Amino acid sequence: MNMNCHACAIDVNSTAIASVTYDEDGGYSIRECKTIRTGTSAYNGTGGDKALGKLASFLRKKQIETVVLSIHTPCFFPLDTVFPKNISDTTFDSHCRAEAGFLLSKPGEYMHDNIPYTLNLQQQPVRKHLVFYYPDALFGIVRHRLRAFCSISNATLYLKPIIRSVAATFQPFVLLEIEHEYATFSAGSNGELEHFSYWRLNHQNDAEYFVLRELMTNPQYKQRPIYITGNLALDKPLAEQISDAAGTTLSPLNLVNLYAMENNVRSSCSLPIELKALSAAFINLYDKKTS
């Protein structure tokens, strides 16, 4: 079985395109990981067409005709909710839209993704899900600009493929994703999500406070590998402060190492924007491989 996937991740100030292949003999291999210094701030501005032109030019040059799109939106709203276990995709979508009507003032302007939590057999006919709601405006802009030569096979909030990429190791894990606007704490095992927390940040020190409080409230998670990523996580003193105060080790997230990927590019593919693109491509192939 030979497969490939091209993914485009858009961050606040940069865009990354990752190309990953998979075959049964050699496993996962990175063929491309390119960063363009333009992101959502430029795409949404007055020079949006010019900025998107850089992305379009690169995709044309590489003859990339289909991409998975992963975007870091300026905000998103997570919601824990429950649905019947055997619900159809159509009904699930309808329920998510109904929930949006209670949560958001303009629900029609938002998209949604979900990650199911670990199935609790005691919950009987329902299952708990984490649903992400996020603005769809930028997705529409990118689709419109690229549609002449490139199709978008799937579009998602970047956080979903990152969490799922770590969970797919089937090992216990904690993932800290720290951005300038917010921080998230995800924990799981056996390929599934067990726990998720989200905090808006007014100052970067808020991240240290919230993460430490989470680990003190749930000390069992300190025994697991704790991975850290995100644009604010690049601040090494912050990561060191959290590590020292918690008395545990924080490991920079690196999917190349987690999955022993063959890396055919010069980059280590461990910067936050690179990980956002790489995880989107990886999880697309993983889902095809395991379906």
Q: What value does the mean pLDDT take over residues 258-264? A: 96
Q: What value does the mean pLDDT take over residues 16-27? A: 94
Q: How confident is the model at residue 44 (pLDDT cuts 50, 70, 90)?
A: confident
The neighbouring-strand residues paired with 189 are 192
Q: What is the pLDDT of residue 207?
A: 95
Quick one: which H or E segment has residue 81? Answer: strand 77-84
Classify residue 183: in a domain, yes or no. Answer: yes
Q: What is the pLDDT of residue 144?
A: 82
Q: How confident is the model at residue 123 (pLDDT cuts 50, 70, 90)?
A: low
Please count the helices (runs of H) and the strands (runs of E) in the chain: 9, 14
**Residue of 207 and 121 predicted with greater confidence:** 207
* Residue 113 vs residues 132, 141, 213: alpha-carbon distances, Å: 5, 19, 27
Q: Do the strands 151-157 and 66-71 form a parallel or antiparallel pair, or are they unpaired?
A: parallel
Classify residue 90: in a domain, yes or no. Answer: no
Classify residue 251: in a domain, yes or no. Answer: yes
Min mean pLDDT across 39-53, 122-136, 203-217, 239-253 is at 39-53
Structure tokens at 92: 């699930």
User: Is the CB of residue 205 less than 8 Å from the CB of residue 229?
Assistant: no
Classify residue 205: in a domain, yes or no. Answer: yes
Q: How confident is the model at residue 46 (pLDDT cuts 50, 70, 90)?
A: confident
Residue at token pair 């984490």: 130
Q: What is the pLDDT of residue 119?
A: 83
Q: What is the pLDDT of residue 143?
A: 84
**Residue of 267 and 164 predicted with greater confidence:** 164
Q: What value does the mean pLDDT take over residues 197-217? A: 95
Classify residue 164: in a domain, yes or no. Answer: yes
Residue burial 200-213, b: 16+ Cβ < 10 Å; e: rest = ebeeeeebbebbee
pLDDT (tens digit per residue) in 63-115:
999 999 999 988 899 999 999 988 999 999 999 999 999 999 999 999 999 99
Share of the chain above pLDDT 90, in %: 79
Classify residue 132: in a domain, yes or no. Answer: no
Q: What are phi and psi of 271, to 5 degrees?
A: -70, 150
The dihedral sign for the CA sequence 128, 168, 86, 93: positive
Structure tokens at 191: 């390929």
Looking at the structure of the chain, the number of domains it has is 1
Spatial CA neighbour of 116 closest among 126, 124, 128, 132: 128
Q: CA–CA separation, 121 vs 257, rounded Å?
A: 34
The answer on pLDDT for 120 being more than 80 is: no
Structure tokens at 18: 């990752």
Classify residue 258: in a domain, yes or no. Answer: yes
Q: What value does the mean pLDDT take over residues 213-220? A: 96
Q: How confident is the model at residue 42 (pLDDT cuts 50, 70, 90)?
A: confident
Share of the chain above pLDDT 70, in %: 99
The answer on pLDDT for 147 being more than 90 is: no
Domain residues for the domain of 152 are 2-74+138-290
Classify residue 158: in a domain, yes or no. Answer: yes
User: Is the CB of residue 1 less than 8 Å from the CB of residue 285?
Assistant: no
| Predicted model pTM | 0.95
The CATH number that applies at residue 240 is: 3.30.420.40
